[in-house]
Amino acid sequence: MVHLKSEREIERLRASADLVGRTLAEVARHVRPGVTTRELDAVAEDYIRRHNAAPAFKGYEVGGRVFPNTLCVSKDDVVVHGIPDDVPLEAGALLSVDCGVVLDGYYGDSAFTFAVGAVSEEKAQLCRVTYEALVLGIAEAVAGRRIGDISYAVQAHCEAYGYGIVRDLVGHGIGRRLHEDPQVPNFGRRGTGRKLKPGMTICIEPMVNMGTAEVYTDADGWTVRTADGRASAHYEHMVAVRRGGPPEILTTFDYIEDVIETPPYKLNTELTHG
């Protein structure tokens, strides 16, 4: 069942979304070679709790498995759900950071792929195309259109570059629960799926692999990796479907861009369209 949000509920979600963006910006201040993802996790948890909220992911349970940390931190070939550890980050890596909060009973959720130091043109292009796919998908989140319109926009853009669209993981609704209906796949056909209605709040999150779309999960039950060991990128925004107008993006990367002037999706690359 899809719960259509009232204006009051969207206002609450907007506050949670804002805190997620600010938390990711605080993490951004510390992303550099030599830092560990466990250190980044501590930064995020402290920031969230100091702002009278709770980490949404810490203690989250799926199939009897409990996620142990505040952030999902995913390096290079890890697509999503990486667990923070004590291994120092190395220059040239991509680091996807997924963050969730609970503020006054409402969830916020967003993800951003960082460059650790200087990255290759190949990795910069992956970030750029993934981010562009997010923007194109959001543009389809208009009342009267369908989930498949979002999915198709993401898939068509990324596959034009020869990238693999992860099919085992999807975006989702969000509200008083972290994961609500409807699911929002990153692949699909125009004009198919659930019709979008005013008051829907969804997370659109392209998860895009440089190579194959195939993934597997580590023995920890959480860490999802690309099957060919090549890099993956992930960007996520919370979006509200509005009546008679364009979608409202509830989360923001503006705070992050205040910290890192040139995010990886804005790096110049000379690689050509695939």
Per-residue pLDDT tens for 147-200? 999 999 999 999 999 999 999 999 999 999 999 999 999 999 999 999 999 999
Band the pLDDT of 273: cuts 50, 70, 90.
very low
Q: pLDDT value at position 270?
A: 57
Quote the pLDDT of residue 30: 98
Structure pTM? 0.96
Indicate the pLDDT class of residue 268, thresholds 50, 70 and 90.
confident
pLDDT at 68 exceeding the cut of 50: yes
pLDDT of residue 267: 85
Give the residue-averaged pLDDT of 61-82.
Answer: 96
Q: What is the pLDDT of residue 269?
A: 64
Residue indicated by tokens 């020869």: 162
Domain 7-266 bears CATH identifier 3.90.230.10 = yes
Task: Please check the confidence at residue 272 and state whether its pLDDT lies above 80.
Answer: no
